[in-house]
Amino acid sequence: MLSKKVKYALKAVLYMARHYNEGRIVVSEISKREYIPHKFLEKILFQLKSEGLLESKIGRHGGYRLSRPPQKIMIGEILRLLEGKIAPIPCVSIAAYEKCFDCEDEKSCDIRRVMKLVRDAMVKILDHTSLFDAIQSKTTASVNIAHAIAL
């Protein structure tokens, strides 16, 4: 399940993607339009800026914008920046692997096997779906996501 932090981050960057050619966007606009608590959004955007996903400028004509075109930013990248992993359980994570304390044998664990399939499917979709893909019409986005699954 997505945390509120990740959900709000995705809503904010998708808003920026839809308005990419319009310049920087102030936090209050994103907060108001996407129904995201202003203070929480400020922290999220600052973190995304610190990670290089966003650029910002202070003052008149200031605000935030994506550091790269929406076609070049994948949803999986954002999730990893904020959460560190995509895997549903730690024992199937590539970046943040942890052995389950209650598992005798990972190789024969039915839960692990299924969750690895889930992780692989999620990674395939998230790492091949750009912000641009996500903001396209429902038909176009569905075709792009279906293509990602087929890869």
Phi, psi of 74 (to 5 degrees): -95, 145
> In the block, which residue shows the tokens 């990674």?
123
* Gap between the terminal Cα atoms of the chain: 24
How many CB atoms lie under 10 A from the CB of residue 151? 8
Which CATH class for the 4-66 domain? mainly alpha
Tens of pLDDT, residue by residue, the chain (151 residues): 789 999 999 999 999 999 999 999 999 999 999 999 999 999 999 999 999 999 999 888 889 999 999 999 999 999 999 988 888 888 888 888 888 888 888 788 898 899 999 999 999 999 999 999 999 866 565 666 666 666 6
Question: Which residues on adjacent β-strands are paired with residue 54?
Answer: 66
Question: Which parts of the chain are beta strand (E)?
Answer: 54-57, 63-66
- Show me where the domains of the chain are located: 4-66, 70-150
pLDDT score for 88: 86
